Amino acid sequence: MDGADLPMGALAEAMRRVLPPGSRRREVEHDDTLVVDVVARADDVLVRFRWMGYPYDLGFALDPGSAYAPFDGADDWAGQAVLLLDEELGTGLVARARRHERDGFIELTSPDVPSDRRCYVQTVRPGADVGWNAVPFVRRDGLDASVATSRRRDGTLLSWHLAHVDDVSGAPYVGHAVVVRLDADTALLEECVTTPGTPGSVTLDLCRLAAHSASWHGARSVVTDLEHPALGILGFEDRGGQRVLDTRFLSVDHDAADRLVAAQPDWRPPRARRRWGRLHIASS
């Protein structure tokens, strides 16, 4: 059926049956998504929701093209479109989407904020996360994990973020970032370090994920004493000798992020290879 034949009101009502306001869904963690409302707009259906402990309402639009295949009626469309929403949220939509302030919520849209696809940023939480098994390999690759492990012990760690080469080996690690809680509304980006020669775009990705992670724990602002051009791109502002970021993330400089990501197109990380059953780093 052609989606143009169905009014947005009918699609919204069908989606409300799939996503009743007040219902919860698991996208990454248990009950991480709370449905606030589903409303029809002129050309799409807006799903408003809360994400983990993030202090602001978010919204994401689904239109007739959000179905994966031709659909037979509004309920079929809603059943398909919710799969797209699940896929987007499960693959980092909240941290990678562009943001627009609306009346009472922040709308997430495409295209994504630019990122360096040569590396993948992993989030390690302070509890019994298998990511802590990476500590000896992070050290092997020339990074000091002592701040992360210390903050984990003293109970202030919100998350530790590890950047590694995005290939089958998952190695080497080329950077990491540590974000900790200061109070109920404020987090501190305490550390962000990359190995020599690693592009600033990796720093951008590390700081972005660290700041978003802090916001999912309720932080309305992230502060730091660090200095790097990536911080200004993300929207950190100088205030009395300290940099402060509003976690609505409405001041990201997308053009500057594009330029930073494109700045070192020929960079190649050290190759990871196995020798005698152990992983070694070889020169590029």
Quick: pLDDT tens for 117-171: 999 999 999 998 899 999 999 999 999 999 999 999 999 999 999 999 987 777 8
| 203 is a domain residue | yes
129 with 254, same domain: the answer is yes
| Last-in-domain residue among 109, 129, 144 | 109
Q: Which two tokens stand for residue 229?
A: 């051009």
Number of structural domains found in the chain: 2
| 279 is a domain residue | no
pLDDT digits (tens, 9 = 90+) for 249-272: 999 999 999 999 999 888 887 766
| 255 is a domain residue | yes
Residues with Cβ within 8 Å of residue 41, at least 6 apart in sequence: 8, 61
The overall average pLDDT reported for the chain is 91
Q: How confident is the model at residue 4 (pLDDT cuts 50, 70, 90)?
A: low
Using a cut of 0.95, tell me whether the model's pTM lies above it: no
| 277 is a domain residue | no
Query: What is the residue range of 53's domain?
Result: 3-109
Instruction: Tell me what percent of the chain is helix, strand and coil, each rounded to the nearest 5.
Output: 30, 30, 40
Pick from 159, 153, 116: which is nearest to 29 by CA?
A: 159
Helices (H), the chain: 8-18, 74-90, 93-96, 135-140, 146-154, 200-216, 229-234, 254-262
| 127 is a domain residue | yes
CATH number at residue 193: 3.40.630.30
| 105, 34 contact by CB (below 8 A) | no
For residue 50, the Cα-to-chain-centroid distance in whole angstroms is 15
99 with 134, same domain: the answer is no
pLDDT digits (tens, 9 = 90+) for 94-130: 999 999 999 999 999 999 999 999 999 999 999 988 9
96 with 134, same domain: the answer is no
| 187 is a domain residue | yes
* pLDDT for the residue 276: 32
87 with 136, same domain: the answer is no
| 280 is a domain residue | no
- Region of 259 (left: φ > 0; alpha: ψ -120 to 50; beta: rest) is alpha
103 with 203, same domain: the answer is no
